Structure 1
């Protein structure tokens, strides 16, 4: 009888971990030169819409919408496609050292599940190291009452391939600043870090505090291919969470790339029209489900103890 109780207990714990709100999804997607040209391709926009509509919050990178038409079109298309949710966006200023090439960070989010409670464009004059980033992080704080974590901060970064080591290390200082500014430990860093292959040599990893700091959890497993081209296999895109509390709020083993090419049965050529990166994603546990399971586990253990006392 005891072994039966233990098996049932393990099953319930597993249910709590695996199903603890697989509905809340955070994504990061390098859209590769997303602007007017790409927005005119209806099949490409349809695929992008399907991908983003899977996410409660989705960070978009390489948004080059200088005429400010492509992003509104995307949001409009999302709201027509997904009748169950309403979508909005919050965007950074245009970022980049070259006037001829600039990008924006854009967070697209479901307004019925997420609220933006703060935003901050990180300056390019960090003390001690002026202009550490080509594209400074655009930090946004979200409130998601239905998740176990309830409120969290997202720090995006699309590193410059030739400066990956320096930018990743500088992200650690951004993290500390954000934690102090908003008095929170619930911070996630995500984006196209270029954190693999020729851009981040193994010998340089010891110089990146974002990697060596033990309080940070890198969720995308090493040797996970986040690229579309069959000729490459690199873990460029990453998701990193700060602290044990946030790590516990993540559904175990839920972080990884979303292979939209396979999911939507596209050829490699068709997929590359969308992007040369797969989006990466992670699931957060649901508050109500976690509380229900915790309450049930408490009653279960109490009942098991009572049963043991009656049978001894």
Structure 2
């Protein structure tokens, strides 16, 4: 009887382990001037496709596709590379205070694991001192039925380095607006925040509500290096989760940079052709499988009967 109990217990653990392998991955990647010229480099595109295909949702920043050719090329290669999934994209308009330098926020997502249920371009108000952002957030709401959280909102931000403190604090206001607008507490903020080194001085951190609010969880800590260059060590890229409920659905210790240089055995020079940033990522817990739950009931019934 003891051996049967151990068999059932080990079988249940195995099933739960398989279910855990389907955790949902959210990523954020500053692609460093991604546009027509970079899209013509086959080795770079191959690496980008490998990186993005690891993610259920991937926020791309510094997309400077003025000719509207680079992003379609990336998506075509991505869908050709990963034939087990299908990827789609939702993107902001081109954003920036200067006509000569504009970027898009782009979300690439797997259509078989997640759907877009809403999108909102935060307004660009340049009256007086109200214009806090060089590139206003493009907020997207997603539904992911196989995750424990089910539905969540992503607020992206690529801060202007010289104005990082002000933009990070203003991002707190964006959070409050979206919580009211979409009546949700399940919000994640992510992107290249430039939230370290000379761009965010330690003396200024107490002025940033996004940092001081105890209901916000910074998943990438200050001592993590998200840069490719060996000569730098800065936690520029961050993932911040709002609320205890959302935080509890994050797989513990899963938030980290993805060192694609080591993973794909690239030299530093080759890696820098791709980007000077590593992507950052986090795993969301999957919904407990019905099979696992039923097996648990069987096991409990067995124990009760034999006791």
For the criterion TM > 0.5, the same-fold answer is yes
Greater CA drift, 21-30 or 178-187: 21-30
Residue 23 of structure 1 and its aligned partner are, at CA, apart by 3.4
Please give the TM-score of this superposition, normalised by the length of structure 2: 0.90
Q: Mind listing any 5+ residue stretches in structure 2 that lack a counterpart? A: none
1:25 equivalent in structure 2? 25
Q: Give the C-alpha shift of residue 19 in structure 1.
A: 6.7
Whole-angstrom distance in 1 between the partners of 2:19 and 2:89: 28
Task: State the SS of the aligned residue for 1:288.
Answer: coil
- Is residue 2:102 matched to residue 1:102? yes
Bigger shift: residues 165-174 or 125-134: 125-134
Aligned-partner SS, 1:147: coil
In the TM superposition, 1:69-218 aligns within 5 A as 69-125=69-125, 129-218=129-218
Partner Cα distance (1:188, 1:295) in 2: 33
Query: What residue in structure 1 maps to residue 52 of structure 2?
Result: 52
TM-superposed CA distance for 1:201, in Å, is 0.7
Query: What count of residue pairs does the alignment treat as equivalent?
Result: 304
In 1: Cα distance, 2:17 partner to 2:205 partner? 31
SS at match of 2:76: helix
Cα pair 1:63 1:103 within 8 Å, conserved: yes
Q: State the Cα deviation string for residues 77-99 of structure 1 (Å, max 9, x = none).
A: 00100000011111101111111
SS in 2 for 1:287: coil
For 1:36, the equivalent position in structure 2 comes to 36
Q: Is the 8 A contact 2:19 2:288 kept in 1?
A: no
Deviations 1:133-184 (CA, angstroms, capped at 9, x unpaired)? 0000000000111111111000000001110010000000100100000000
Give the C-alpha shift of residue 248 in structure 1.
1.0
Please report the TM-score for the alignment, with normalisation by the length of structure 1: 0.89
The separation in 2 between residues aligned to 1:298 and 1:128, in whole angstroms, is: 63
What is the SS of the residue equivalent to 1:164? helix
Distance in 1, matches of 2:214 and 2:20, equals 26
Shift in Å at residue 124 of structure 1?
1.7
Partner of 1:63: 63
Please report how far the alpha carbon of residue 221 of structure 1 lies from its aligned counterpart in structure 2 after TM superposition.
2.3
Q: Please, which runs of 5 or more residues in structure 1 have no aligned partner?
A: none
Measured after TM superposition, the shift of residue 306 of structure 1 is 8.3
Change (3 A) 1:235 1:16: farther
Contact 1:18 1:251 in 2 (8 A): no
Shift of 1:30: 0.1
State the distance in 1 between where 2:183 and 2:21 align.
Answer: 26
Aligned 8 A contact 2:23 2:147 in 1: no
Counterpart secondary structure, 2:227 = coil
Q: Is the 8 A contact 2:142 2:153 kept in 1?
A: yes
Question: Residues of 1 paired with 2:298 and 2:159: CA distance?
Answer: 49
1:70 deviates by 0.2
Give the structure 1 partner of residue 273 of structure 2. 273
Whole-Å separation in 1 of the counterparts to 2:98 and 2:18: 45
Does the C-alpha gap of structure 1 residues 162 and 76 become closer, same or farther in structure 2, counting only changes over 3 Å?
A: same
Residues 174 and 83 (structure 1), Cα distance of their counterparts in 2 relative to 1, 3 Å cut = same
